[in-house]
Amino acid sequence: MDIKAYSKLVDLLQKKEIEKVKLLAYFHQKTSGSSDFSRSHISEWFLLLDLPKPNLSRIEKNLSVSRDFIKGKTKDSYKLHPIAFDLLQSELPGIHVASEEVISDDVILPKPIYEDSRGFIESLSKQINASYEFNIFDGCAVLMRRLLEIMLILSYEHLDIGKAIKGNDGNYQMLEKIVNDAKTNTTLKLSRDARSVLDDFRTVGNFSAHKIYYNCRRADLKNIAVHYRATIEELMYKSGIRK
């Protein structure tokens, strides 16, 4: 877990200044193995989280009178009191252990679109948002392609027209053939906007998955994000997940 994910987990932005320092000192100790921290550490933490520049003199004054902190081993350093550390550890176990929880802002897919849908759809949607937020653009493009394919198949199944996109072996065809059918299928009845951008989503995902010298960039996804969001929301209704 990195410092930004941790910040979201503990709702750091809503905390008072000294509480922020306390929680960040705990994260520092758990992840670095060092209990001591200094003014420069505090400045670095706040900078990494894009927080307003801290008033270090005020913070240092508050640290000196707080029961949650004691003097560190080095000059002008502090550390968490063992009791404060143990209390936080009981409240926040396993911070140093990789978590499977996906924490992100709703950058590509807003929460109302995917929440209370199906577990695997919620998981994919959160991964899409998280990968975009943390600049994993190729991964985001591949995940967007995967979710699009799933939503199209679910829509065909709900409308009882799955045979239209299955091969002779009974398995679903490649996404290209599914998209080609979706653009003209009169039972599916996708909107004109959705039909016009299906290939754009598929192409970006294919490039990220298969094109050796291609690296997806933020602009590639930003240019299609609004249309992608609208298309996934439309398919939520076509698939019967939303009423």
Task: Provide the β-strand partners of residue 78.
Answer: 37, 71
DSSP track, 17-60:
HHHHHHHHHHHHHHHHS---B-HHHHHHHHHHTTPPPP-HHHHH
Contact (CB, 8 A) for 106 and 186? no
Q: How far apart are CA 179 and CA 22, in angstroms?
A: 52
Last residue of a domain, one of 91, 119, 140: 91
pLDDT at 101: 56
Query: Along the chain (243 residues), what's the average pLDDT of each consecutive run of 10 residues?
Result: 88 94 93 89 94 93 95 91 92 64 71 91 93 91 97 97 94 96 97 95 95 94 94 97 91
Contact (CB, 8 A) for 226 and 232? no
Residue 104 forms part of a structural domain: no
Residue 197 forms part of a structural domain: yes
pLDDT at 55: 93
Residue 195 forms part of a structural domain: yes
Containing H/E element for 71?
strand 69-71
Range of the domain at 14: 3-91
Number of domains in the chain: 2
Instruction: Compute the chain's Rg from CA coordinates.
Output: 24
- Side-chain-side CA neighbours of 178 within 13 Å: the count stands at 24
Last residue of a domain, one of 56, 91, 126: 91
pLDDT at 31: 83
Does 146 share its domain with 221? yes
pLDDT at 202: 95
- What is the reported pTM? 0.61
